[in-house]
Amino acid sequence: MTQIKKVAVIGAGTMGGGIAAHCINAGLQVVLLDTVPSSLTPDEEQRGLTLASKEVRNRFVKAGLERIKNARPAALFDPQSIAKIVIGNVEDDLALIADADWIVEAIIEQLEPKRALMEKIEQVRKPGSIVSSNTSGIPIAAIAAGRSEDFRRHFLGTHFFNPPRYLYLLEVIPTPDTDPDVVATISRFADVTLGKGVVVCKDRPNFIGNRIFSYDIATTVGYALRNGYTVEEVDSLTGELIGRPKTATFRLLDLVGIDVMLHVQRNLYEALPDDEEREALKIAPEIEALAAKGWLGNKSGVGFYKEVKGASGREFWHLNLQTMEHEPPKKPRFDLVGKARKIENLPERLRFLIDNADTDRAGVFIRETMLRTLAYAARRIPEISDSIVDIDRAMRWGFSHQLGPFEVWDTLGVRKTAERMRERDIAIAPWVEEMLAKGGESFYQRDNGRVVGVWNPIESRYVEYTPPEGVLSLDDLRAQGREVARNHSASLIDLGDGVLCFEFHAKVNAIDPLITEMGWKALELLQEDRWVGMVIGNQSSDFCAGVNLGVVLMGVMGGKPEESAKFAKGTQDLFFHFRTCPKPIVAAPYGRVLGGGVEVCLAAARRVAAAETYMGLVELGVGLIPAWGGCKEFVRRHVSPHVKTPGADPLPYLQQAFETIAMAKVSELGAVQAKQLGYLMDDDRIVMNRERLVAEAKKEVLLMVAEGYTPVPPEGEPVYAIGRRGIAAVNAMVYGMRQGGYISDYDMTLARSLAYVMCGGDLTQPQWVTEQYFLDLEFEQASQLIQQPKTQERIMAILQTGKPLRN
């Protein structure tokens, strides 16, 4: 198989630039090219440039670099890495792609320009290099028509979803000429190196994801228009309520761009003359009218929603689809929805909504639109795919649906749902009828929740389900009876090969007394010979949102401060025992990792982090300081080592560490920035594909064991305490910030408390102290702060509004 180290991207637009940026994120060599302008801008003319000037000839590609640089959300893990992208244009610099292992075309969505570019690429590409087209709808085989056999064998489609860094799905589209080894190579590379969820599609219009999504959107919008549902009502019914993102339907169209949606729908309508639902894809006149007005959504500032300054501040007015005027928000209320929202479990909630649909027009809307999309997805087999698993993955990975269409259908009951479809004259795919006739009651066969088999529509039978190689599912292991211990908030799971997993599963994985209790149980088990080490990891939306503030506040304000103190001290002791554990402990953070979530990671011997990991010690925002080892670890890691260098002044390093915590800095750009901020160390690994995180953390444990892990001494290691000199310097900096109006009086109080701890207290002379000495200072200061009314106000504000209070 080809080893991909150098990537060339041709087309520096939004998509091409995003692909190039993500390849840089993955540590690859990247060349980015674009076309040459055919005319000068007024500014270029004024500056005396000509069409032969290099600056002019590279104008488009430089504009692409600017888009990468200014992209929001950020396209790059590290803004400085943009300098690694080599740029040029396709007329002067095509030789730059000659040694590329993978060449990605991402130019204008028109067949002839793509074909012309393929001819140029063939003249310079090295034998064996892979060439792909990033297109959302043009037939892949048509793009490579006329090229040599070797070119066609190494050519395929790679459809990234925008933005490429963040959206997990990558559709790989081979042609009849594509070598299967090329499909395997690009799929494995995209999975492991780029961190993508790969679905192999057939070369049909809009492939899998956009084909189903386009129909779903068209059906939803069409039903709303025909039956008088408002924009606000539709969005309240098609978002998180049914397991989809908050953007729901119309907010999503505003985000994507109404012009983009129209372009996709028109192309799809033209490309599908034989689709039985073709007329459903026709664009409604109301939507055409929006585009005619220039109301294109977020990019134009107005679409289905318009931001308005109201009496209460910023308001989002929704479009009245009948009058075509925007109206103030009304917050739709449906009795059925109110009851459904009390059901946390999504499958149970969906069954409740559909089973009770006739009681409420909200239920009718959900049922009538959902049934049509489910049936349509089934009828697309075998046209767009032979696999129900791939269709479900495409919708989950590409559009952040919690369940794919066949998973939803299973949830509702296949036979019961099919009957509801028949009652409405919704055509059911023959293969579904055949499955039901043979006694198949579900698309997926499950054993205690674990998928063990899946219906194969082509073979008309159940086939064994094989999980992706190199991926560990904690839920699957649980279903196999590998859960060693469990309480309401945490579990211990056997990962195999003697590796234990300490899993949080509380709400937002906030640390509470039950998690602490399970942590002590984990340490007890690790004393047994059968366990060689442990992973601290879970598979939720976020690794850990910090301490459960409700538990802390309830103890203090409920007249039982000793219970809060016992929990706080017990968790601090637990984390220190993690740090000094004789066997290696590896943390596997991902997503949001805040406060105590960071501290449990700092306590581990090593960390294997997902690329999209956003870490921060944010305790000062709730009127506290890190008290589970966070202050101590920052001093130990980022101050103490510099004292060992003769003549080095540790104060600047202390000030930098202090600023990170005092300003609650979060690695908003991901794990690379977490290393720069000091939350991760240089030898901590970053994994691009989060699905592989627990498995990779397990590998790290076994590697550390094989290398002969040397544990930290039971008493820890010496930590350098600067003492009064540091306190004076840091407090002077804090005072300046207060005088400048950057922080409040209470912020200054908190910062001084933090300075006191990080400097090792009121020591007259710098000295080396124990880790426990620092831990005692943390606990002492945090115990005092939690009693302060202003701290309690901050905690209450977070619990009630989710927003920090600066009192």
What's 482's domain CATH number?
Answer: 3.90.226.10
Distances (CA, A) of 656 to 431, 579, 726: 64, 24, 12
The predicted structure's pLDDT at residue 590: 98
Q: Mean pLDDT over residues 215-239, rounded?
A: 95
Question: Is residue 89 a part of any domain in this protein?
Answer: yes
Question: Helix count (H) and strand count (E) of the chain?
Answer: 34, 25
Residue 284: is its pLDDT beyond 90?
A: no
Neighbours of 337 (CB within 10 A): 18
The predicted structure's pLDDT at residue 214: 94
Alpha helix ranges (H) inside 709-760: 724-739, 745-758
> Which of 445, 464, 483 is where one domain is finished?
464
- Together in a domain, 143 and 265: no
What crossing angle do the helices spanning 258-271 and 209-227 adopt, rounded to 10°?
Answer: 110
The predicted structure's pLDDT at residue 283: 83
Neighbours of 806 (CB within 10 A): 11
Tokens 């009876």 sit at which residue? 481
Kindly state the helix (H) or strand (E) to which residue 102 belongs, with its residue range.
strand 102-105
This prediction has a pTM of 0.94
The predicted structure's pLDDT at residue 285: 87
CATH of the domain at 376: 1.10.1040.50
The predicted structure's pLDDT at residue 282: 86
The predicted structure's pLDDT at residue 482: 97
At 36, phi and psi to the nearest 5? -100, 135
- Together in a domain, 188 and 226: no
Kindly state the helix (H) or strand (E) to which residue 172 belongs, with its residue range.
strand 169-174
> 631 or 645, which is more confident?
631
Q: Which domain holds residue 156?
A: 6-200
Question: Is residue 236 a part of any domain in this protein?
Answer: yes
The answer to whether the beta carbons of residues 522 and 493 sit under 8 Å apart is no
- Together in a domain, 503 and 604: yes
Cα–Cα dist 767/784, whole Å: 25
* Phi and psi based region of residue 403 (left: phi greater than 0; alpha: psi -120 to 50; beta: remaining): beta
Residue 25: is its pLDDT beyond 80?
A: yes
- Together in a domain, 554 and 587: yes
**How many domains are contained in the chain?**
3
Question: Is residue 775 a part of any domain in this protein?
Answer: yes
What tokens were used for 696?
């990779």
Predicted confidence (pLDDT) per residue in 602-622, tens digit: 999 999 999 999 999 999 999
The predicted structure's pLDDT at residue 208: 97
Predicted confidence (pLDDT) per residue in 632-689, tens digit: 999 999 999 999 898 889 999 999 999 999 999 999 999 999 999 999 999 999 999 9
The predicted structure's pLDDT at residue 143: 97
Residues 6 or more apart whose Cβ sits within 8 Å of residue 378: 405, 406, 409, 428, 429, 431, 432
**Confidence band for 72, pLDDT divided at 50, 70 and 90:** very high
Cα–Cα dist 496/492, whole Å: 12
- Together in a domain, 63 and 195: yes
The answer to whether the beta carbons of residues 465 and 501 sit under 8 Å apart is no
The answer to whether the beta carbons of residues 418 and 428 sit under 8 Å apart is yes
Cα–Cα dist 328/332, whole Å: 12
Question: Is residue 399 a part of any domain in this protein?
Answer: yes
> Which of 200, 217, 237 is where one domain is finished?
200
Predicted confidence (pLDDT) per residue in 140-185, tens digit: 999 999 999 999 999 999 999 989 999 999 999 999 999 999 999 9
The predicted structure's pLDDT at residue 651: 95
Residue 525, strand partner residues = none
Q: What percent of the chain has pLDDT over 70?
A: 100
What crossing angle do the helices spanning 789-801 and 549-557 adopt, rounded to 10°?
Answer: 140
- Together in a domain, 515 and 578: yes
- The gap from C-alpha 533 to its chain's centroid, in whole angstroms, comes to 28
The answer to whether the beta carbons of residues 559 and 774 sit under 8 Å apart is no
Q: Mean pLDDT over residues 773-791, rounded?
A: 96
- Together in a domain, 394 and 517: no
Predicted confidence (pLDDT) per residue in 473-509, tens digit: 999 999 999 999 999 999 999 999 999 999 999 999 9
Residue type, 685: R
Q: Mean pLDDT over residues 363-392, rounded?
A: 97
- Together in a domain, 196 and 213: no
The predicted structure's pLDDT at residue 540: 95
The predicted structure's pLDDT at residue 357: 96
Q: What percent of the chain has pLDDT over 90?
A: 90
| Mean pLDDT computed over every residue of the chain | 95
Q: Mean pLDDT over residues 112-134, rounded?
A: 96
The answer to whether the beta carbons of residues 513 and 481 sit under 8 Å apart is no
- Together in a domain, 118 and 175: yes
Q: Mean pLDDT over residues 5-12, rounded?
A: 98
> Which of 400, 430, 464 is where one domain is finished?
464
Question: Is residue 229 a part of any domain in this protein?
Answer: yes
- Together in a domain, 457 and 494: no
Question: Is residue 801 a part of any domain in this protein?
Answer: no
Question: Is residue 470 a part of any domain in this protein?
Answer: no
Cα–Cα dist 228/623, whole Å: 49
The predicted structure's pLDDT at residue 1: 58
Question: Is residue 598 a part of any domain in this protein?
Answer: yes
Residue 795: is its pLDDT beyond 90?
A: yes
- Together in a domain, 438 and 522: no
- Together in a domain, 444 and 580: no
